[in-house]
Structures are given as C-alpha cells and as structure tokens.
Structure 1
C-alpha cells in the first residue's frame, strides 16, 4: 500500500485542468513521488477507463447498485485507486447533509479526504497478500453485521483478492451473496483466473484496460507542465512504451528521468537511464540488415552495445520497428499514431513501400525466436550477431516466384565445396535507395540433362493437366479441376487459378503435389483474386447449348420438330463424310421424345 498516513497535513489543492488536483506540501513535508502526488481523486481523473465510468454512472443514476465489484487488470492501471474513488462516490455527502451515490463530485464531501487517505472508519482496506487466512475473513464477517458509524455504506476494499486461501473464499460465499444492505465489497486483483468462479458470479466485473500510449504521453506532458519540467516528446514516448500501459510505472519512470536529467527530460537521458537503444540507430541497423550488409549491421550493434544498450533490448527494438513497418504497410493511417517519432514515421513509410509483407513476416519470426536465445546466452553480443546474420541472409532469400524462375532456368551456381554461392553483400553506407531483397546477382546456368534421360512430360495447356489427372486415375482431382477451378493464367511451371463457389481452398496444394509427382518438376500453383475463365464444366455446358441451338435452327430439324409436336433435341452428333470433290458436311441428327409408327413414312416424305 502506498497511501499517506493519517497525520500528514494537507494544504489547499490547486485545480489543474486535465488531471487530478495535487496536494501542495509545505517545505517541512517529505517529498511525495509523482505516482502519489498525482493520484486520481475523481472518476474524471481516470484515464483510459471510459467504459467502466459510463457503466458506474448509469448504475448510480438508476439506483442499480450491486453488492460487490471485481476490478481486474495489469499492475498500475488504477485498480486500488478506482476502488477508493468508488467508495468515495458511494458515500458522497456534502457539508449540509445532502448528497447521494454519484460519480460526479465537484467539491470534496465530508468523507472524501479520509476515504482517499485510507483512514475512514467505515471504509476498510485489507491486503489479501498478507491476510490470506480464514481468521481474517471471519473478522470481516463478524463486523459486517454492524451499521456504519458515519457514512452511508460500510465498504470493504480487498486488494490482491486472489491471494486468499480456499477456505477464506468459501467463508465469503454466503456473506457475499446476501450481505446487509449497508455493506458493499470491492475486490481488486491482477490474477483474475485464480479467483474462484463462485466468487466471480457474485460480483460485477470490470476489466481495467491498459492505458494507450498516446494518452499516457499526453498525461505525462501535463504533469511535466505542472511540475515546471522541460521534456522532449520522444522522451515521453519512450517512457510510455517502457511503462506498457501502466500509469503508475510511467510516473515512476518520469520521476526517475527528472532526477536523472536534473529537471530536464531528454530522449538521450531516458535511453541511458533505461538502457534503451537510440531509435534512429535501430532504424539504421534495420536498414543494414534488410540490405544484407552484415559488416554494417555488426558495427551498428557494437556501437549501441558500447553506448550501454542491452543486446536483447536492441533486438526487441528491431522487432518493434518491423511491427511498425508492417502496420504502416497494411494500415497507412497508422502513421498518425502520436506515439511514433518523426524518424519512425518517415523512414517507416519508406520501408513499407519497399519491403513485402512476406519479408517483414519472416523478419518478425526470426527476431521472435532470436530474442530468447540472446537473453539466455552467456555471450549475448555473439548471440545477437548470429541473429543478425540470419536476418541478413534471410533478406536475400528469393521469393517463391523468383525461386520458380531459377528452377525453370536451371540450378544456381555453387561454390567449390558444393554449397550454394552466398549472395554478394555491400559494405557501403546504409541508404534506403539501394535496398535489395532479391536473389543472387549472378544469372543461374541451365543444368545439363543427363544422356539417355527419359523425355519430361510436357503440359502445355490446362486441359492437358485435366487429361493427365484422368490418365493417372485421380478421379477426385479431375472432377474438382473441371467443376471448381477457373483458370486465370497458365504457363509451364506456373498455374494461377480462382475458385468457383463451393470450391476447396486446398486444391492448389493438391494440384501442386500431383504435378510434381507426375512430371518430376516443381510447379507453382497459386490462388488468385481475379475472376478467371469459366470452369471446364461450364464451358462444356455452354458448348452443348450452342450445338443444340444451332441444330434447332437447321431446316431438317425444324421439319422434324414440326412433324412431332412435343419432341425435344436430346443430343447433337457431328459426323463428317467425304464425297467426290465435295467438302465434308455436318449432318445433324435429332432424337424425339415420342416417335410414332409413321416415323419411316415421315422420313421418306422428308427425303
């Protein structure tokens, strides 16, 4: 608990817009850290918890006040502070005796000061971390029968409630379900999963959210103005990132930064204090790695390490920046995030235009696996360098379409020991203009075919692929290709297709495996968002319809249909016959649904 003692004198509190009023201490009073000096005192002072405040406001206005609340969230988001403000709102009463439960407290009531200082006789606070047994709960149960001394409600605030023993929880059940009308319970915990569901079902639960970085930066800026401290925006953004959504942590870090910088908070002093890497240097390191420039990447890592940055933190910042670039690529409006520095915003947009999502995702995965290796290694710098090597060489890996082109043209050149020749790297300065995420600079040579090798299967059309499926007796795949596939683009080694309604998305992988098995070569089969051609089945149906329409317009068929009312064209067969000096002609034969005994005579008449 970090509450003030009952004997601490309080002077008038100046009204500072935008954040809670802070008590002005006399020169004889001890120094109060910022986390206590600017602790919220009303619901209006809470930042980032608008949903909870709105729910409580409606509950108080309609008189729907439950008997217990459960406040949960990470450390420093304001659980205990919210519990005290809630107790103050329940017992709000003006000096003239008027007042009712409310969240609007424009002026201090007769119980407000003592409640906020945790010295009111009817608002009892208990730390469950040090009072875990059933005897501590039994004292609460015994005292709850008595009415409050001066307040409207007797409020019990139990912090870290998940620390109570199983017997203590069970002892609470009956009292918590049917407490006296004058008693209210407020529980706070960081481990909501450890609280029994029998307790949760008797409480109204509020999940306090992490405070967003931009709101924390604005809050820290207002406090710096109130304290007369000069602070850089980048420094406050670094503190907000390090606090990870905790208001108390951010104020503690700000307090430390003010002392570290002798009243001036700058970005470099905050980095030195927290052991962080310079964001601009992190971006330079990211650029060197993406360019495949290992010497420059090693030099950048060593420079930051010599300046006091931890290798694990450097890689974490690299991962954070790769996430920023990915967001900028997929969500351009992310550039408006006030938590981003100007360098992150401008250079991040440049990277987002040049790098593919595939490359950024691969970078994230490598860093995500490399950071724990660095943190657990007894040689963190060496481990970090090896992670950078993996990143640099992964940046030069070919994309699937480039790999397919290499496979079609032949094998990549190999070194003398049989291993692939590594891609050339540049040791020049890191500039965004010469970034390369490509394959080896040398053009691969076609691999000579061994003498006497069997000729490869050549599939020049999509219809050849379907026919091959029929030859290989893969009936399921053949039917799916005819029914569910719309061809977008076809060339040897690569097929792009789209799916008809109801088609399976696994058909691309199934077809690629089948083609490799049939031809002995790797095929690239990809799904496309383009419409594509009609399916083979739709094409066959359309062709059959055209043949029937053409047959129906033939004079011979029209005469047959007129002779036999109700007859239908069932099938159309094209038959070519050669005559002396005469081109082959098409005879259209129709079949009628009902033929009478006069069919032969009608045929003679028609002849």
Structure 2
C-alpha cells in the first residue's frame, strides 16, 4: 500500500476530531441536533484551517443512515463513501477550474433531480470566489430558493470578492487561524500515535512556520521526518526551515543586559556562521522585546506561542522597563537604516553598539560609563560671572545638561535689564544669591566689576541732556527697585552707583512721574507728546478721500505698542487747518509721508511755503525727504513752489495729532457704548462679569 501523507491520513472525520474552530462547530452542532438547517452555508478562512473538512463532515451528518445528527456513525456505507470521496450525492466542484457560466448552468440543470442514495444532494463548491460574474448571476435564483433536497456548501479564502447578493443568501462562518500552541498540541498527539521521536522545540518551530495552517504544519512535519531520518529534531528542523536559533537572540539580549561588548560581538559572530537574514534577526529581537514589555505590564498575558514563556518572564524581571522601550525603539530605527549600511552585518553590529552605548545610565544594575571630567567649573570658567543676573536665560544654552547650581553660570556682561525675567528664580532663596555675590566678588580678577556694556545704555543717551529737576534724578532709583530683588539691585549692583551721573533729560512740561515708568533708560525726548511714525494711518483711513498712503511705512516703522499722543497746544486754524485738508491728497507714503504728517503750515509768501516739523520726528528728515515733499506738493498743485522746513515744535495741530485725537475719540465712544450696552449690563448683573477695557476696539478701527 502506498504511503499516505499525514495531512490526509489525519483529516478529521467527525466534529469531535476537529482541532479548534469551536465557534463554528458549536453553531453547526446545535443546528443539526435541533433540525434547524439552512440551505446554503459559506465557510471562509485562510488555507488549511478546515473549510473543506467541515463541509464534508456536515454532508456526512446530513446523509448518515442513522439519521440527521451531529455525530455520524462513520460505519455505514454513506459515511465510508464520503470519507473515500466517492459518494454520488456529494458533488464537489472546483470553482477555480470551472469558472464559466456554461459550467454553472450545467451544474444547475441537475439540481432539480432527487438524490440517488442520500437524503440530500450536497453541492460543495470550493474557491467559490473564482466564479465569473455571469456564473454568480446564474446561481442567484437557485441559491435563494433551492429544492428541498439540495444543500449548498461554499468555501473560499477571499470572501471580499463575493458579491453581496451571494453573501446575503448564505450563513457565513469565518474560520480562525490555528495558534502555535494548538498546532504543537496536535502535532504532539499525531507524532505520538505515529511513534516518531521528536523534540518539543522542533514542534514549536514547525508551529510558527505553519503560520496558522494545520495542513501546512502536517506537511512540514512530513518533511521534517524525512529530513531527520524518522526523527523530528530541533537542529534538523532549523536547518530545514533556514530559521534563526531563537536561543541566540536571547544570547544577544543577555549580553546587552550585562553590558558586555565582548560577549555581544561574540554572539554576532555565532549568528554570522549561519548566514542569517540580519533584518530577520532584528525582527526576532523586536518580537522578544515586545513580549518582554507585555510581561512587565501584565505577566499573565504572555503566551507560550514560541515555547519561551519562562525566558520572557526572566528577561522581564532582569531588564528595566526603560531599557526595553529604548532597545525596541533603537531596533525599529535600525531596521529602517539597515539597507543603508555598507553590509548588513556591520549595520546590525552598529545597532547593537548603539544600544549598548546609549542605554539609560540611571537604570538599576546598569554599568555606568564615567565621563571624563573637563576639570573646569562652569562657575569659574568665566571670571566675569554676574551674581546679579542669577539664572539668566543664557544658562540653558551655556550648559547642555541641567545642573543643580545655576546661579554662577551667567557672565557679567549680561545686560542688567534681563534681571526682571529671572527674579522669580532667585526669590525663594535670597541668601543663596548673596552667597553667590560674595563668591564672585572674591575672585582674583577684578577688572569686570563695573563692565562698560552694563553702564553704557544708562550713561550715554543719544540727545544732549538738559537740566532737570531733582525729582527726576531720584526717579531712576525707584525704577531699579521695582523689578530687581532688594538685596541684589540696590545693595550689590554696580549699575545703580553709576546711574546718578547721567540724569535723564525731559522737557519741563512733561509729567515727572511717568518718565521712569515708560522707559528705564534716560532719553532726552522721552516725554515729547508727539505720535510715532505710524500714527497718521488712522487719519488717512477716516479721511473723505479714503487715501491710505502709509501702508508700507506702517508695516515697517510702526512700533508694537503705541505711546499716548499728547494733544497740540492749539487746534488747527488758518494755514494749519488748510494743511490738514491738503496733506492727505498729496499721496505720500513711507518716511516722507511720516515727515509731512508731523508738520504744520505756518506761512505762505508768494511761492515760498514754510513748514514747522516736530523735533521728535526729525531724526529721519534730510534734504532728500524735503525734496520729495516739495515735488509732491508741486505735482498736486500744478505749479512750482519752494518748500522750507524748519525743525521746530508746531504750535497748532499736525495731521498726526489730529489722527491721534480722532482715534482717542473713537476709542472713548466704543468704551461708552460697551458700558451702556443693555446686554453687557445684564451679564454683569447676573453673572458678575467684568469688561476687559484692553479688548475694546472701535468697529471702524
């Protein structure tokens, strides 16, 4: 008698012999026992999971001579003929070879005839998704309302290709893949019955190689028996499959755990002797690390799908969690970069060396690599350390790794105006700041005690200083006290000692109290009541001509926050009022437009026009700007004029001041409108709401 392969010899002949697929068997057994039979069944799943086997057992249950039940006798002629594949009323159709509509019509022509020997005529159509569209259409009506003596059993590995009209006419059962544990369990039973010696590790290799298919596992077992001369040994199966020794992966991980570079490279050398796929080796390492991470979170969730559950649990206890995550991420990046390496082995070695070199140094049991001490303290490397600046923003960039002491790292050249930013850092421990001050002052290098860059912004104002009242001289000392800490700014900082010399120059009519608040550095013209360059934008926008001539200048010169513009001494009348009306029509922009907006017309004598320019806006005034202003005036009036511009404070309102006045009026109207709005008042009354004045803007802004 010829040899019969294990896949056919051990094909189940009843539901009790089936391995797995409990969810499908339960439904079929209950339907058979309760006589609730459908006329069409569809079995789906990957290859080798039991679709055809279940269909044949179901046909046996329907036609057994003992009656319809979930347990056919297996001894009657019908059961034996079905097992031998020669039962006349079981028509097995290979849809892959009979795809044409003519084949389907020929099949359906015989449906109307009663079965010859059995109780039902069973049509088993395998790989039904291979039928053509016309074949499906021809099958629809018969599949929906077949004769009472006909049952359709359909099997496919790709149910997505079936029309929904076919799926809706069948009871669909999805068969699952076989897990390696179930495969190993079944192979153990089969090899024990066949009296074939085997090793458990070899069966695990076969179970993983089967990839969920019991038929593939049985076929590989046949091959392993032949390869091993009647024995199934792990070394033979590994050589036959060309797979990696799983123990060597653990050897690599153990070398990483110990931090032993020599053992790590030795493990790689042993791997290289087998000529493995290095990308596959990394994949195996990632699989193990994944299971180790699961074991650290939930040990009971670790399966024994690869027969190494104990090893995984041991690694989970030995490896810190951060090391596992780091190795996994490094392995993923290494797989991506492996094709770029000069050769796969060197790329794999570099991945392992990176894992070894950059592993978390604070993990328990991890060998720490002592970095070489540069021998220079960050506190004494720069003798110009400034205790006033404390922990200025320069500290993070100067020292990459955060250190517990931050006070002594900032050079003395850091501007004193940055101290308010770091004041909250030094606030909890003023004693530490004073200690740092004493430490820095004790250094042998004394030159940088009063560095020029710190005094320079305070002692060198741009305009010429004018005499000021004693109250103004005292104001800068109050300004210094506001942002700085008391023990640092007043008592220790060399900046305060040099401040009384350059008194800030302010015009007498400006309010004394507002000068130090507006700016901390002295400015001879800080209190000038004239608008910034961009103030005339609103004036132009509200003009009847609608001429917005300062767009490009406003985007380039307008400051982020506009200071308040003081009104002019007198409202514009006469020639000044004519200039307010004439200027928007000149079409000026940029710096020239800004200069014209801060002028006022004081006299017209024949063809000579004389203007007064606000001194606060005279920094950008030159002969070129005067020429451009004169040309624009000539072009608008159509005649030649001579324009004389004198830098002198205007006595009447300029276009810029008029724009500021109108803007202030619109803002006040908007505030009044919000304050009197009934809805706002109701919200304040009901919910205790508060109106943020800084968010109110006029609609025509």
TM-score range relative to shorter protein: 0.5 to 0.7
Aligned residue runs from structure 1 range 530-569, under 5 A: none
Distance 2:342 2:37 in 1: 56
Q: Which has the higher contact order (CA 8 A, sep 6+)?
A: 1
Gaps of 5+ in 2: 364-370, 375-400, 429-701
**Partner Cα separation in structure 1 for residue 263 and residue 47 of structure 2:** 40
Q: Deviations over 1:211-268 (max 9, x none)?
A: 2222221211111111111111111122112212211111111111111111121222
Which residue of 2 is the match for residue 352 of structure 1?
316
Query: Of 410, 420, 423, which aligns to 1:449?
Result: 410
User: Which residue pairs with 2:656 in the alignment?
Assistant: none
Aligned to 2:155: 188
Q: Does the Cα contact within 8 Å between 1:77 and 1:247 map onto a contact in 2? A: yes
Are residues 182 and 328 of structure 1, via their aligned partners in 2, closer, same or farther at CA, if it must alter by over 3 Å?
same
Partner of 2:48 in structure 1? 76
Kept in 1: contact 2:33–2:70 (CA 8 A):
no
TM superposition shift of 1:112: 1.7
Structure 2 match to 1:132: 99
1:63 maps to which residue?
A: 35
What is the TM-score when the length of structure 1 is the normalising length? 0.58
Once the two structures are TM-superposed, the CA of residue 170 in structure 1 deviates from its matched residue by 1.9
- Quick one: structure 1 residues 67 and 326, their matched pair in 2 at CA, closer, same or farther if it must change by over 3 Å? same
Counterpart pick for 1:458 among 386, 407, 424: 424
Structure 1 window deviating more from structure 2 (29-38 vs 351-360): it is 351-360
Secondary structure of the structure 2 residue equivalent to 1:231: coil
Normalization by structure 2: what TM-score?
0.51
Query: Conserved in 1, the CA contact under 8 Å of 2:112 and 2:147?
Result: yes
> Which whole-Å CA distance do the structure 2 matches of 1:378 and 1:91 have between them?
66
Which has the larger Rg?
2
Within the alignment, does 1:384 sit opposite 2:348 as a pair? yes
Partner of 2:561: none
Give distance in 1, aligned partners of 2:305 and 2:24: 25
Higher helix share: 2
Matched, 1:248 2:215: yes
Distance in 2 between the 1:414 and 1:186 partners? 78
Tell me, yes or no, if the aligned pair for 2:322 and 2:360 is still in contact at 8 Å: no
Deviations 1:36-73, CA, capped at 9 Å, x for gaps: 11111111111111111111111112211111111111
1:176 to 119, 125, 143: 143
Q: Which stretch of structure 1 is more off in the superposition, 290-299 or 206-215?
A: 290-299
In 2, the alpha carbon distance for the partners of 1:173 and 1:460 equals: 84
**Does structure 2 retain, via aligned residues, the 8 Å contact 1:125–1:159?**
yes
Measured in 2, the distance between the counterparts of 1:72 and 1:377 equals 43
Structure 2 residue aligned with 1:31? 3
For the residues of structure 2 that align with 1:128 and 1:383, how far apart are their CA atoms?
49
Gap change, CA 1:248 and 1:391, over 3 Å in 2: farther
SS of the counterpart of 1:137? helix
Match of 1:395 in 2: 359
Instruction: State whether residues 92 and 125 of structure 2, in contact with CA within 8 Å, keep that contact through their aligned partners in structure 1.
Output: yes
Residues 291 and 392 in structure 1, CA contact (< 8 A), matched pair in contact too = no
Residue aligned with 2:42, SS: strand
The corresponding residue for 1:303 is 270
Output the CA distance in 2 between the equivalents of 1:378 and 1:191.
42
| Distance apart, 1:150 and its partner CA | 0.9
> Any idea what SS the aligned residue of 2:11 has?
coil
Q: What is the rounded CA distance, in whole Å, between the counterparts of 2:246 and 2:427 in structure 1? A: 53
Residue 345 of structure 1 and its aligned partner are, at CA, apart by 3.5
Match of 1:207 among 174, 178, 193: 174
Shift of 1:138: 1.4
- Determine the structure 2 residue equivalent to 1:238: 205
Query: Partner of 1:320 in structure 2?
Result: 287
Residue 277 of structure 1 contacts residue 314 of structure 1 at CA under 8 Å; is this kept in 2?
yes
Distance 1:149 1:451, change over 3 A: farther
- Structure 2 CA distance for partners of 1:269 and 1:443, relative to 1, 3 Å: farther
Contact kept in structure 1, 2:72 and 2:79, CA below 8 Å: no
- Alignment correspondent of 2:19: 47
CA distance in 2, matches of 1:55, 1:381: 53
What are the ranges of 5 or more consecutive residues in structure 1 without an aligned counterpart? 1-28, 94-98, 400-411, 416-441, 463-607
Tell me the distance in 1 between the aligned counterparts of 2:311 and 2:48.
33
Contact 1:123-1:156 at 8 Å conserved across structures: yes
> What is the aligned length?
389
Q: Which whole-Å CA distance do the structure 1 matches of 2:358 and 2:42 have between them?
A: 48
C-alpha displacement of 1:317? 2.0
Displacement of 1:446: 7.0
Partner residue in 2 for 1:281: 248
Which secondary structure state, in structure 2, belongs to the residue aligned with residue 238 of structure 1? Answer: helix
Equivalent in 220, 242, 257 of residue 224 of structure 2: 257
Q: Tell me the CA shift for residue 81 of structure 1.
A: 1.3
